[in-house]
Amino acid sequence: MERIEHHASFGGRQEVWQHASATLGCAMRLGVYLPPAALAGQACPVLYWLSGLTCTEQNFITKAGVQAHAARHQIIVVAPDTSPRGEAVANDPGYELGQGAGFYVNATQAPWAPHFRMEDYVVHELPALVEAHWPTTGRRGIFGHSMGGHGALTLALRYPGRYASVSAFAPIVAPSQVPWGQKALAAYLGPDTQAWAAHDAVALVASATERLPLLVDQGEADEFLASQLRPELLQAACAQAGHPLTLRLHPGYDHSYYFIASFMADHVAHHAQALIATAATKA
């Protein structure tokens, strides 16, 4: 682990770290916000952010305004890059596939399989690294935007008990049914649509064994709403399965970080309620 950036922020510190990932076979960067309590050596819960297409760790830590809210609730916030990167890593000319577009799955197809294992990285390697390096309570939440919202929802549903809370901004809720997801899942997982369903929040809700409440915010002026995001599909699936969902639609808001920053306080508070209450109960 090598620290390559650090900035004082709201009594805590925003850092950027780089490490050699054994899972992905390349160097990876992650943003880590340490609230004042963590700097003082106190154990804090950890909230993981998954970014959307084309993003690195920088988009979130510079635009979302999460630091003030994380400091208020004393939560460590970790924001990894969206994919493996480097000259030896496969890529594609399109922004929706390859570097910057890992889709938080473990690829099984060539040429992606050797490096594109973002599911294992986010679920296993990254928390092990974080929990070995900083004081944590062992409690985790996960949230994200767009492709990262897809990742947050599907990983929380696929790993019951691993996360105490989950939320998403403008997530791709049904990648099996929209162009972005269909292109990525076909490339990474092959033509078997049953394999795709294992990484589709709408499909996963039907068989979820844990009823972790879902918080989803969506802008009604989002240019990708009708073609790529389709929140009504998640709403219908949750209603049918009896899965708790709070879906909030916001007139005038688009797909940008202006939208994310506007409702970041609500999302951090949503996670804090679960993460801190759970930690207090365990204590």
* Residues classed as catalytic: 146, 222, 255
DSSP 49-64: EE--TT--HHHHHHHS
